């Protein structure tokens, strides 16, 4: 199998005794949308910065497209498009000037492709970046990321702060990008409803450790939201819940042992969870 991203034993600490990443491992195969989730402070942005060599790792190995990042940085970055929530666009520049900076950094820059996206997103290149709404900034970032025929799109909280309509438009753009053969997306977000729509794999980070790494459909099929009367609970089946909330005469919980609980709690209601349901349950645990 061809892996676009291979992370092995990755560690990072910013201050002594404060380890942000604790030797994480994961692989992302080519041609999928991988959702990278976790609460604020879990280490998601640090992982992405390490993948782009914006900060230095303390230990571990990072391979992109099967090649070591440190030894092949220029070649690798030429194949990556990035969309960040904030911090890498110069607010006082006009869009046309920002484009020139990006175009000069990539050997495969396609001006016709860029113009196509500028027209599609209804962007005015004469405007300064600081004059754009949050949604328009994200569209401009995506136009820059897609205009050099990137094979891997790395996004850190791209839909944060966007209204539902613009978020849906953004997701549709990602779907269109994935229609081209061999494209891969690494999508870090805390808005898990976006991943319900497009993710193929979910990687969950908690306190610097990978605690889940599965295909999305498998992950959701393995888990269930269980609801019922509190009198159904006992000391044995309580242990089969990842999280459990009891209110009055009823309970609600998430389990990773769905089939076993179905046999023991025949009158309980079993529902398919969302990614958010799973994430919150594991975080609470």
The pLDDT assigned to 160 comes to 81
What digits encode the pLDDT tens for the residues 14-42? 876 688 999 999 999 999 999 999 888 88
Q: Which residues pair with 29 in a beta bridge?
A: 3
Average of pLDDT values for 268-283? 94
Q: Which segment of 84-93, 98-107, 270-279 scores lowest on mean pLDDT? A: 84-93
* Phi, psi values for residue 236, rounded to 5°: -80, -50
Q: What's the pTM?
A: 0.91
pLDDT score of 220 more than 70: yes
Position 76 scores a pLDDT of 95
The whole-number average pLDDT for the span 183-197 is: 92
Other C-beta atoms lying within 10 Å of the C-beta of residue 120: 12
For the segment 259-280, the average pLDDT, to the nearest whole number, is: 94
Q: What does the mean pLDDT of the chain come to?
A: 92
Share above pLDDT 90 across residues of the chain, in percent, rounded to a whole number: 78
Can you tell me the mean pLDDT for 197-218?
A: 95
3-class DSSP assignment, residue 148 = coil
pLDDT attached to residue 89: 86
Average pLDDT over residues 233-248: 94
The predicted pLDDT at position 166 comes to 85
Where exactly are the structural domains of the chain?
1-79+151-161+185-214, 223-284
**Cβ–Cβ < 8 Å for 177, 32:** no
Question: Quick one: CA dihedral 196, 198, 203, 204, positive or negative?
Answer: negative
pLDDT value at residue 58 = 94
Distance between CA atoms of 206 and 212, rounded to whole angstroms?
9
| For residues 110-136, average pLDDT | 92
Count how many Cα atoms sit within 13 Å of the Cα of residue 243 in the half-sphere of its side chain.
Answer: 16
CATH for 1-79+151-161+185-214 is: 3.40.50.300
pLDDT value for 151:
96
What sign does the CA torsion over 206, 21, 216, 147 have?
A: positive
């Amino acid at each position: 199998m061809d892996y676009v991203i291979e992370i092995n034993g990755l560690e990072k600490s910013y201050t002594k005794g404060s380890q942000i990443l604790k030797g994480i491992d994961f692989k992302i195969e080519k041609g999928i949308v991988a959702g990278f989730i976790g609460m604020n402070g879990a280490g998601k942005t640090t992982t992405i910065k390490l993948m782009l060599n914006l900060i230095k790792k303390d230990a571990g190995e990072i391979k992109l497209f099967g090649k070591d990042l440190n030894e092949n940085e220029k070649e690798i970055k030429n194949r990556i498009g990035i969309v960040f929530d904030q911090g890498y666009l110069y607010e006082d520049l006009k869009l046309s000037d920002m484009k020139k900076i990006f175009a000069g950094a990539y050997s495969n820059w396609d001006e016709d492709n860029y113009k196509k996206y500028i027209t599609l997103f209804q962007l005015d290149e004469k405007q300064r970046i600081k004059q754009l709404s949050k949604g328009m900034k994200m569209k401009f970032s995506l136009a820059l990321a897609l205009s050099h025929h990137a094979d891997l799109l790395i996004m850190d909280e791209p839909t944060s702060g966007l209204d539902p309509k613009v978020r849906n438009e953004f997701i549709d753009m990602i779907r269109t990008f994935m229609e081209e053969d061999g494209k891969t997306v690494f999508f870090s977000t805390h808005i898990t409803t976006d991943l319900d729509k497009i993710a193929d794999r979910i990687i969950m980070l908690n306190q610097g450790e990978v605690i889940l790494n599965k295909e999305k459909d498998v992950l959701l099929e393995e888990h269930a939201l269980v609801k019922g009367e509190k009198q159904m609970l006992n000391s044995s089946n309580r242990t089969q819940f990842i999280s459990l909330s009891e209110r009055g005469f009823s309970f609600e919980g998430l389990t990773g042992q769905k089939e076993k609980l179905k046999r023991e709690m025949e009158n309980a209601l079993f529902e398919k969870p969302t990614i958010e349901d799973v994430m919150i349950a594991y975080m609470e645990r």
